[in-house]
């Protein structure tokens, strides 16, 4: 007889799609709603009312049936013009998507690329804006999922404002996981997706667009329809808010439940939970004698990138996690393939999820011949939780 399989439970430990709370899963099995009937009207109005708090904004948050990339494209389609300059900041795969989008639309893309894993430096952005005074929009990333780094978009917002430019932030993986105060920080546009810390399935894109950005978009008509901000803003802003095209009603229903869960836990608690999970993950990485990848700071609460030890085949780490331990986790993308493992703690994640991923990583690294002591990472993370105090009665996304 071969060894019994102890690891029978599949576990989704990725930074998006993230695991769904059971309440969110369950509601999707209910009968579908017609999108122009009172039951959906009430649901949609409630979702539209709940969304702005997560963004820290008083804008109406525009909802698209699309992935997060669709929401990013909405920003380019509404603001970029052929031949006009824009500034794209890229320190990883998702930052580079701004460059690709800008170029696809024929914009004159000024690039700021400090390298994958770096943190965007507001002073460098200021220098580029001084050198390119015609740039009127800066595109950046809150949480760069490919590297784990969270950028200081508050500082970027100040720099952009000082130069009279709009700041557009891709918060697809960061929203609801790390602090973002759109209005207070003066960020004109924040785009996001449903499948990360918002704890809903993929298929909804969001754009929180300031009045100023809506006006600029209106001055640059044409070349878009589905992702036209003002069309969606007009439909959603009507007395009886509606989507301009058939919305993804099942996903909106799921989002309603997940936003309710965020309200119940309280956004501050949600963010504090993410920060604690991230601290435990970082401690666990150090505890097993490994290093973090790149330049994360204490904002990096979305995904923790572990630099895999030299001398092992890093591409085997996610493969063995899946094949031996039934854990689906993210390795490195693009130029980081085989170099990192990403520990996700973004959305419906708790302490034991982090301990599980660390335990599994220890097991896999041992199998690959790395010098890792079993339990070392787990113990360091446990200590973080103990030191933080375990609050049994604290609110959580139950």
Cα–Cα distance between 53 and 33 in angstroms, integer?
25
**Measured from the CB of residue 298, what is the shortest distance to a second copy in angstroms?**
27
**Measured from the CB of residue 375, what is the shortest distance to a second copy in angstroms?**
27
**Measured from the CB of residue 115, what is the shortest distance to a second copy in angstroms?**
24
Cα–Cα distance between 369 and 367 in angstroms, integer?
5
**Measured from the CB of residue 198, what is the shortest distance to a second copy in angstroms?**
13
**Measured from the CB of residue 87, what is the shortest distance to a second copy in angstroms?**
18
Cα–Cα distance between 20 and 198 in angstroms, integer?
9
**Measured from the CB of residue 71, what is the shortest distance to a second copy in angstroms?**
9
Q: Are strands 204-209 and 189-193 parallel, antiparallel or unpaired?
A: antiparallel
Q: Which is nearer to a second copy, 131 or 239 (CB)?
A: 239
Structure token digits, residue 16: 């998006």
Counted residue by residue, the chain has a size of: 398
| Distinct helix (H) and strand (E) counts, the chain | 13, 13
Cα–Cα distance between 398 and 393 in angstroms, integer?
12
Is-contact 276 382, C-beta < 8 A? no
Q: Which is nearer to a second copy, 74 or 301 (CB)?
A: 74
Cα–Cα distance between 63 and 71 in angstroms, integer?
9
**Measured from the CB of residue 141, what is the shortest distance to a second copy in angstroms?**
16
**Phi, then psi, of 128 in degrees rounded to 5:** -65, -35
Q: Which is nearer to a second copy, 104 or 394 (CB)?
A: 104
Q: Which residue has the tokens 């689906």?
A: 328
Q: Which is nearer to a second copy, 180 or 344 (CB)?
A: 344
Is-contact 351 378, C-beta < 8 A? no
**Phi, then psi, of 328 in degrees rounded to 5:** -95, 115
**Measured from the CB of residue 76, what is the shortest distance to a second copy in angstroms?**
8
Q: Which is nearer to a second copy, 164 or 221 (CB)?
A: 221
**Measured from the CB of residue 202, what is the shortest distance to a second copy in angstroms?**
5
Q: Which is nearer to a second copy, 219 or 391 (CB)?
A: 219
DSSP type of residue 360: H
Q: Which is nearer to a second copy, 34 or 374 (CB)?
A: 34
Q: Using CB under 8 A as the criterion, which residues of the chain lie in contact with a second copy when the complex forms?
A: 10, 12, 14, 16-20, 25-26, 28-35, 37-38, 64-70, 73, 76, 82, 100-101, 104-106, 193, 195, 201-203, 222-228, 245-251, 254, 322, 328
**Measured from the CB of residue 250, what is the shortest distance to a second copy in angstroms?**
4
Structure token digits, residue 74: 């909405």
Number of Cβ within a 10 Å radius of residue 25: 13
Is-contact 57 157, C-beta < 8 A? no
Q: Which is nearer to a second copy, 21 or 284 (CB)?
A: 21
**Measured from the CB of residue 203, what is the shortest distance to a second copy in angstroms?**
3
3-state per-residue secondary structure call for 54-93: HHCCCCCEEEEECCHHHHHHHHHHHHCCCCCEEEEECCCH
* DSSP helix/strand/coil, 206: strand
Q: What is the DSSP string of 197-214?
A: TT-S-S-EEEEEE-HHHH
Q: Which of 188, 148, 76 is nearest to 302 (CA)?
A: 148
Q: Which is nearer to a second copy, 83 or 389 (CB)?
A: 83
Structure token digits, residue 235: 């439909």
Q: Which is nearer to a second copy, 257 or 276 (CB)?
A: 257
């Amino acid at each position: 007889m071969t060894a019994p399989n102890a690891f029978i439970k599949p576990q989704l430990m990725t930074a998006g799609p993230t695991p769904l709370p059971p309440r969110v899963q369950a509601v999707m099995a209910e009968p579908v709603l017609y999108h122009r009937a009172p039951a959906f009207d009430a649901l949609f109005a409630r979702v539209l009312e709940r969304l702005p708090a997560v963004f820290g904004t008083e804008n109406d948050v525009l909802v698209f049936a699309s992935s997060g990339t669709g929401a990013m494209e909405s920003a380019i389609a509404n603001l970029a013009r052929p031949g006009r300059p824009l500034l794209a900041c890229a320190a990883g795969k998702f930052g580079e998507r701004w460059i690709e989008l800008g170029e696809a639309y024929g914009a004159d893309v000024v690039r700021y690329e400090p390298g994958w894993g770096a943190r965007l430096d507001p002073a460098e952005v200021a220098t580029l804006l001084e050198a390119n005074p015609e740039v009127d929009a800066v595109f950046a990333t809150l949480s760069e999922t490919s590297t784990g780094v969270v950028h200081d978009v508050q500082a970027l917002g100040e720099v952009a404002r000082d130069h009279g430019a709009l700041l557009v932030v891709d918060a697809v993986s960061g929203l609801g996981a790390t602090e973002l105060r759109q209005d207070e920080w003066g960020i004109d546009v924040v785009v996001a997706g449903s499948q990360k810390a918002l704890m809903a399935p993929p298929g909804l894109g969001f754009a929180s667009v300031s009045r100023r950005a809506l006006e600029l978009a209106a001055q640059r008509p044409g070349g878009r329809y589905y992702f036209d901000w003002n069309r969606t803003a007009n439909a959603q802003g009507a007395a009886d808010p509606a989507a301009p095209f058939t919305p993804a009603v099942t996903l909106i229903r799921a989002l309603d439940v997940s936003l309710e869960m965020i309200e119940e836990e309280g956004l501050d608690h949600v963010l504090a939970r993410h920060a604690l999970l991230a601290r435990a993950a970082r401690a666990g990485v150090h505890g097993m004698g490994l290093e973090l990848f790149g330049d994360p700071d204490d904002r990096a609460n979305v995904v923790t990138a572990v630099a895999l030890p030299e001398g092992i085949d890093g591409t085997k780490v996610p493969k063995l996690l899946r094949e031996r331990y039934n854990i689906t986790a993210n390795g490195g993308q693009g130029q980081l393939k085989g170099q990192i493992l990403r520990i996700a703690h973004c959305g419906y994640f708790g302490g034991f999820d982090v301990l599980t991923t660390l335990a599994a990583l220890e097991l896999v690294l041992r199998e690959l011949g790395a010098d890792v002591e079993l339990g070392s990472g787990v113990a360091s993370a446990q200590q973080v939780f103990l030191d933080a105090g375990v609050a049994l009665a604290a609110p959580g996304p139950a």
